[in-house]
Amino acid sequence: MNQAHLHLLVNHLPIVGSLFAAVLLGAGLLRREASVVGAGLVAVLAAGLLCLPAQLTGEGAAAVAQQLPRVSRALIQAHAAAAELGFWTLEGAAALALFGLLLRKNASPRAALMAWAALAVAVASFGLLARAGYLGGLIGHVEIREGFGTPNEL
The predicted-structure confidence for 101-148, as pLDDT tens digits, reads as follows 999 999 999 999 999 999 999 999 999 999 999 999 888 776 666 665
Count of CB atoms within 10 A of residue 108's CB? 14
Alpha carbon distance 70, 31 (integer Å): 49
Is the pLDDT at 6 greater than 70, yes or no? yes
**What confidence tier does 67 reach under pLDDT thresholds 50, 70, 90?**
confident
Virtual CA dihedral for 98, 99, 101, 107, nearest 10 degrees? 170
Is the pLDDT at 93 greater than 90, yes or no? yes
Confidence at residue 142, expressed as pLDDT on a 0 to 100 scale:
64
Is the pLDDT at 154 greater than 60, yes or no? no
For the chain, give the number of residues.
Answer: 154
Is the pLDDT at 17 greater than 70, yes or no? yes
Is 31 part of a structural domain of the chain? yes
Confidence at residue 150, expressed as pLDDT on a 0 to 100 scale:
55
Q: Which residue has the higher pLDDT, 3 or 128?
A: 128
Count of domains for the chain: 1
The range of the structural domain enclosing residue 130 comes to 3-148
Count of CB atoms within 10 A of residue 20's CB? 17
Is 105 part of a structural domain of the chain? yes
HSE-up of 13 (CA within 13 Å, CB side)?
A: 18
Is 154 part of a structural domain of the chain? no
Alpha carbon distance 91, 82 (integer Å): 14
Quick one: which of 42, 143, 138, 55 has its CA closest to 93? 42
Is 153 part of a structural domain of the chain? no
Alpha carbon distance 20, 44 (integer Å): 8
Virtual CA dihedral for 142, 83, 113, 22, nearest 10 degrees? 40
Name which of 12-16, 67-71, 93-97, 104-108 the model is least confident about: 67-71
Is 62 part of a structural domain of the chain? yes
11 contacts 54 by C-beta, under 8 angstroms: yes
Is the pLDDT at 3 greater than 90, yes or no? no
The pLDDT tens digits of the residues spanning 33-56 come to 999 999 999 999 999 999 999 999
Alpha carbon distance 35, 116 (integer Å): 15
